[in-house]
Structure 1
Amino acid sequence: MEIFDVGGDDEPATPRPGPWWKHLLSVVTATVVGLALGWVAAAVPWGPADYGIPAAAPGSPWALLAACGAAGLIVAGLLRGAAARFPVYAPGRIGFVLVFLGTRLALGFRPELAELAAGAGIALLAAAIWCAHALHLHRRATAA
């Protein structure tokens, strides 16, 4: 369920705005799957304890999952909203990866509120840069 059609080698991708519920479904799906897989990745030990990101720290994960979910909805919404107006490469996958990584890191390290907000800001900045690059490529392709 991509938001734009990808043409052949000589035909550029074009945006195709769809009904709002398809965009909403894509945003929610990317966020929920990223949260779920981030939680599973944090709950299952994948290697030695002194190697890599630590497993989920003890305590209730619900506050961190809510914060990661809220940030994930904003990030995925930005990517999907931009893709409705101009071609953005893989907005759902990029949103998923940002939510997954944020959830995995948050559950492993249990950051304080300021660090959690900084991580959400970094994810939002990464999504904005991705969209800005796609807009730049779109404008350059249409100007030629």
Structure 2
Amino acid sequence: MWRHALWVVGVTALGVGLGWAGSLFRLGPDDYGLLAAAPGSPWTYVGIWAVTGLATAGVLRAAAARVPVPSPGTIAVLLLVIGTRLSLGWRPETPELAAMAAAALVLAGIWAAIALRANAVAGRTPKPEESPGAS
């Protein structure tokens, strides 16, 4: 159990850390692109994405503990990097930030549900040697 918790914390720290590091510079030309981190304290946004990351990585890890989930760490890190990076660049208001965090959780839930469903279908599919009438 402690390994799962350590994995969740590590993936969250990596995703939020990479998003924060990515916000230290501007991506793209001045006319468009991702802005560098806006002035002001980033701690509110970093904290919200850390909590979101714990929940997102927890959902993916809980599913991965039961069935094979393709790249749960990569999915969690990508969701957190994107969310943290966008939040620190544009500093959204509370409703937009809540929608972004909810979207990350929903996407993680969908990814886990697809893996759980695929495993359930694979478990019900008869193997060729078990097929009735096979000779």
| TM-score normalised by the chain length of structure 2 | 0.89
Cα displacement (A) at 1:49: 2.3
CA RMSD of the aligned region, Å? 0.9
Cα displacement (A) at 1:45: 2.3
Counterpart among 129, 132, 144 of residue 110 in structure 2: 129
Match of 2:132 in 1: none
Q: Confirm or deny: 8 A CA contact 2:56 2:104 kept in the other structure.
A: yes
Tell me how many residue pairs correspond in the alignment.
125
Q: Secondary structure at the match of 1:85?
A: coil
Q: Distance in 2 between matches of 1:133 and 1:125?
A: 12
Cα displacement (A) at 1:51: 2.1
1:119 and 2:100 correspond: yes
Q: Identity across aligned pairs (percent)?
A: 50
Q: Distance in 2 between matches of 1:107 and 1:118?
A: 15
Cα displacement (A) at 1:93: 1.2
Match for 1:128: what amino acid? G
Q: Distance in 1 between matches of 2:53 and 2:123?
A: 31
Match of 1:56 in 2: 37
1:28 and 2:9 correspond: yes
Match for 1:43: what amino acid? L
Q: Secondary structure at the match of 2:98?
A: helix
Q: Distance in 2 between matches of 1:89 and 1:41?
A: 25
Structure 1 unmatched ranges of 5 or more: 1-19
Counterpart among 89, 92, 109 of residue 108 in structure 1: 89
Match for 2:83: what amino acid? G
Q: Confirm or deny: 8 A CA contact 2:28 2:34 kept in the other structure.
A: no
Q: Confirm or deny: 8 A CA contact 2:26 2:33 kept in the other structure.
A: no
Runs of 4+ more than 3 Å apart:
none
Larger deviation, residues 44-53 vs 62-71: 44-53
| TM-score normalised by the chain length of structure 1 | 0.83
